Structure 1
Amino acid sequence: MADDKSKSQGQDRERINVHQDYELRDWARSLNTTPERVKEAVQAVGDRAEKVREYLKNK
């Protein structure tokens, strides 16, 4: 499913889509890490932003 750019809140903000370059870049900046680490975290724990934050915090 394509990213719905009309959504600026809600469920769309809770998930990280690593297949959208701009979204991956923005999440990496927001989480103070690299896009590669975001991809690693999503692969390990799924695309939920909360779980990705926890994973990166514990690594």
Structure 2
Amino acid sequence: MTDSLTKRDQPDRSKINMNQDYEVHYWTKHLNVSKEELQKAIDKVGNSAAAVRKELAV
């Protein structure tokens, strides 16, 4: 996702940025996991959304 909320570019959904509250909110809802579960998956496989989905078996 883009870092600026004012940009009209397509958000980059291929990476998960745990430093952006709105991204954490999106991904925890989208993957139906807690913030802690999301962080553990990212720590294990990196911030690639595809890798995190695979790790969480979503």
Helix, strand or coil for the counterpart of 1:13?
coil
Provide the C-alpha distance between the structure 1 equivalents of 2:4 and 2:51, rounded to a whole number of angstroms.
22
Give ranges in structure 2 of 5+ residues lacking alignment. Answer: none
- What is the TM-score with the length of structure 2 in the denominator? 0.79
Partner of 2:47: 47
Say how many residue pairs are matched: 55
In percent, how many aligned pairs have the same letter? 36
Using the alignment, how far apart are the partners of 1:50 and 1:18 within structure 2? 15
Q: Any residues of structure 2 matched to 1:10-29 within 5 Å, and which?
A: 12-29=12-29
Which consecutive aligned stretches of 4+ in structure 1 deviate over 2 angstroms post-superposition? 4-9
Greater per-residue helix proportion: 1
Aligned residue identity for 1:35: K
Deviation at 1:40, TM superposition (A): 0.9
Q: CA deviation at 1:13?
A: 1.3
What is residue 36 of structure 2 aligned with on the other side? Answer: 36
RMSD: 1.9
Question: Which consecutive residues of structure 1, in runs of 5 or more, have no partner in the other structure?
Answer: none
